[in-house]
Structure 1
Amino acid sequence: MNHFVRGNIALDTLPALAELTTLGGRIIKFTRRRGKLLANGVPVTTESEREVSRGRIFFIDELLFVDYDRVFELQSQYGDLETAPLLGTPWPSSQFLSHLLGWAEEQPQTSFFAEYLNYTNLAYMVPGHDDELEPVKYTAFIPTDEVVTASLYADASDPFLLDEELRNTLVLNHLVSGRLYHDDLKAATTLTTLANTTLTVTTSPEGEVEVGGVRVLGPHTFLYNLGNVYLVDGLLGVTDQDIVTSINEFSHRDGSVQQGSKTKLDLNPAVEEPRTSPAPTQDSTPSPPLAPPTTTPTTTTSTTRAPRPRTTTASTTRAPRRRTTTARATRRLPRLTTPQPTSTTPRPTSTTPRIRFETRTEISVSRRVNDGALETVNDSSR
């Protein structure tokens, strides 16, 4: 509407500083500079004038009344109408999941969930269209890094990286079909996650919203026209008992995530000698865990996991269409000065001290995998 004016007007006959009102109610001021006609500073190609039935057409090189501030304003207000750029990786059939991964990787407080999502293969559970080819929208409730680290144990590997079933359960319990705005999160409303669990929405007298007993942090974020994202301060659908059970089940495995094979883990705090042999691949057989020394059990004080250095050696066992992260360092905890028990490897209980947020600094740097070829990581800062 702001590119049309009423009347059959020949612009080259307009006097200097002439003003015309558009059908949208905006004012266009015409000026001349070095023989060129300008409409609000935008050059008008008068030589390309075309006469049509009951009017004229002129061509300009820019949009009128549209600038970056206006675009930003529109994105803030109507971001749910903006078409998402088409992503070919990592999950072409699930644009919401692909864009959610990119969004989570960019946020400083969601790096843990991004890492877990990076190792999933759940595109078939989060399709972009239904059977009638109608687009499907989603809502994601993403736990912050502080929440995730509060659920981990200082003397055990991350179970969400070792246990594929637990990791998939975590991801699916934080995804809901349908785009939910803040007004949709009303008290007593029930939501069904993609893991088929039920979440009940409650509100406090102060107006705070909780989903499944977990507080929702702030307003939603538009993920283009694909769905909405909320930050939450708790885990949904995963209990502390689930985490402890998974740690006990995978206590013999280490913290590296590989497709098709797992390597052994010795939870006995000991310093491992530097490895001289190449890292195991899918075809190699993992070494058995080290047996604990036969000594009399004594009481030891708990230790805090030292920050582990990052490496830039990409795993060669990932599936071609999956994204990959750099391999984790294999350095063990420092050896304790007191003897270790002769029984089986100690397992965490509900009283085991939790890992502190600032001690877990080994977040891997993700790189995409295309057609089975690993992207070379060159980072001189590491």
Structure 2
Amino acid sequence: MERLKSHPESVKKLLLDHVVLGQRLDLGIGADLSFTTLGGRTVQIKSKPGGLVANGANVATDKVDVGIGRLIIIDNYLFPEDLTADHSFVQDMTQVLSLLQSGVRVFQHLLARSNVTKLLKKEDDYTVLVPTDRAFQRWHPIDWGFYPFSVPEFTEMVLMNHFIKGSIKQETLVGSNTVTSLGGRQITFAKTNDGMITANGVELVKGDTPINKGNIMFVTEVLFVDEQVVSQLHEEHRDKETPPLLAFPWFGSQFLSHAFVALEADARFKHVTRFLNQADLAFYVSGAGYTFFVPTDAAFNQLRLENAPDNVLASSDKGMSVLLSHFVKTRLYDKDIKDGATFTSLSNRTLHITRKPGLNGTVEGADIIEKEVFVYNLGTMFFVNRVIFGDEIPCDFNSSVVTTVGPSREMTTSLAEEIDATTVPDILLEESTVPTTTTVPVSPAATSEFTPSVISSKKK
């Protein structure tokens, strides 16, 4: 009974294991019965010489009707082993933390997702330093950025370093005491003259929470985590960084939008960005969790597409298929690029990987020249030196093209004569200094190098 008094959750469990919902059991039918309690436990009723037995407990009275329910009186608990079983440190720690309404939810969540508790032996005593939610909140990005506890192996090591073998009480600490955590790090407890206790210089919440086989203390910072540690971790795990929300160019495709912005800033990818801009793949590449094999400008130049119109891929089914063949609906890492591996692209075509030791590998014959370019936690890019299935791109460039050109000071004589400066607003007669976009229909007779001129005029 003393154990039940100190463990209210055990009392609740005990009661649920002795209640059956929705049935008025009739044990007088003389047959063996089996039923499930509200606690999900199974009870076996057997008829033996001398009376009925329920899970080993003798049935003293099999029927006491109370309103719409029924009581069955037995001489022992249905599951007596629950009362005599020796609770471990982990069981009692979990139970105590679960009773707290707030303040340590993050620690509980991270601990439940780790394997740390498997390292604790049932027969040993332990002390745990539990960081408060506010301690973890310090490292959480406000809107977007890197959260160190999104890296599982790092989180597990940090948690291990908050457990100490042996029961340590604040009231017994005097001066300076150094112990070793389960993760092998040194923790030094110190007590100041005014009674404040610190662990590695971090203040502890005053007071112990003793439990069976150990003690719980609460700490105001996460131990062994600082700016330098997080900065280095960030460099190693940029794939865990959350992105800012982009409304442009494609709100519904954050991976594609962030990839486009990154490629647009790189001089090696002028062609793929202009082709993407016309293709508008947001419908196909929605959300996140993709891999993009990105051809360089040199790759498109090999196919003589340097002067191709921006819509050369978007204007045909074959062109769109080629473009979609560079995307895979899976986030791949360098470790996934294995010799003989295959992946299905968004065009539903199979991409074949070959890789020799010491090399980055190839995808459909295109060499991977740069690997694992992370687009936040949205996906990954691999830069390749050839266009995948590039020989299938239509070569007919005789279509209307949207071309961006710079201003020109030249004016054809015939057109200049038609302009009446007196009928044009002054602001339009000032020399143009801003690049102008014009829609130019390219005739079949025009060459692919045709460059339109934008007419400008000076006020006389």
Q: TM-score range by the shorter chain?
A: 0.5 to 0.7
Residues 236/65 of structure 1: CA separation in 2 closer, same or farther (3 Å cut): same
Counterpart of 2:209, as a letter, is E
What is the aligned partner in structure 2 of residue 271 from structure 1? 410
What is the aligned partner in structure 1 of residue 245 from structure 2? 87
Q: CA deviation at 1:67?
A: 2.8
Rounded Cα–Cα distance in structure 2 between residues aligned with 1:107 and 1:44: 50
Write out aligned runs for 1:309-348 (5 A): 311=434, 328-329=435-436, 345-348=445-448
* Kept after mapping to 2: 8 A contact 1:310/1:329: no
Deviations 1:19-52 (A, max 9, x none): 1222333211234568554322323343xx3525
Rounded Cα–Cα distance in structure 2 between residues aligned with 1:25 and 1:204: 39
Counterpart of 1:113, as a letter, is V
2:403 corresponds to which of 235, 250, 255: 255
Q: CA deviation at 1:95?
A: 3.9
| TM-score scaled by length of structure 1 | 0.54
**1:193 paired to 2:345:** yes
Counterpart of 2:368, as a letter, is V
Gaps of 5+ in 2: 1-159, 427-431, 450-460
Deviations 1:220-252 (A, max 9, x none): 23445543321111222334963x413x223xx
2:280 corresponds to which of 108, 121, 135: 121
* Kept after mapping to 1: 8 A contact 2:309/2:402: no
Residues 254/220 of structure 1: CA separation in 2 closer, same or farther (3 Å cut): closer
Rounded Cα–Cα distance in structure 2 between residues aligned with 1:86 and 1:3: 33
What is the aligned partner in structure 2 of residue 219 from structure 1? 371
2:209 corresponds to which of 43, 51, 57: 51
SS of match in other structure, 1:113: helix
* Kept after mapping to 1: 8 A contact 2:313/2:323: no
Rounded Cα–Cα distance in structure 2 between residues aligned with 1:277 and 1:174: 49
Rounded Cα–Cα distance in structure 2 between residues aligned with 1:23 and 1:183: 31
**1:4 paired to 2:163:** yes
Q: CA deviation at 1:163?
A: 6.1
What is the aligned partner in structure 1 of residue 396 from structure 2? 245
* Kept after mapping to 2: 8 A contact 1:96/1:138: yes
**1:15 paired to 2:174:** yes
What is the aligned partner in structure 1 of residue 186 from structure 2? 27
Deviations 1:255-310 (A, max 9, x none): 14xxxxxxxx9xxx9935799789xxxxxxxxxxxxxxxxxxxxxxxxxxxxxx99
* Kept after mapping to 1: 8 A contact 2:291/2:327: yes
**1:60 paired to 2:211:** no
* Kept after mapping to 1: 8 A contact 2:243/2:377: no
Write out aligned runs for 1:223-234 (5 A): 223-234=375-386
SS of match in other structure, 1:5: strand
Write out aligned runs for 1:347-358 (5 A): 347-348=447-448
What is the aligned partner in structure 2 of residue 165 from structure 1? 315
Counterpart of 1:164, as a letter, is A
**1:38 paired to 2:198:** yes
| TM-score scaled by length of structure 2 | 0.46
Residues 10/204 of structure 1: CA separation in 2 closer, same or farther (3 Å cut): closer
* Kept after mapping to 1: 8 A contact 2:271/2:300: yes
Higher relative contact order (CA 8 A, sep 6+): 1
Count matched residues.
Answer: 268
* Kept after mapping to 2: 8 A contact 1:50/1:56: yes
Residues 85/204 of structure 1: CA separation in 2 closer, same or farther (3 Å cut): closer
* Kept after mapping to 1: 8 A contact 2:209/2:217: no
* Kept after mapping to 2: 8 A contact 1:151/1:240: no
Counterpart of 2:436, as a letter, is A
* Kept after mapping to 2: 8 A contact 1:169/1:237: no
Query: Which structure: larger Rg?
Result: 2
Rounded Cα–Cα distance in structure 1 between residues aligned with 2:368 and 2:200: 46
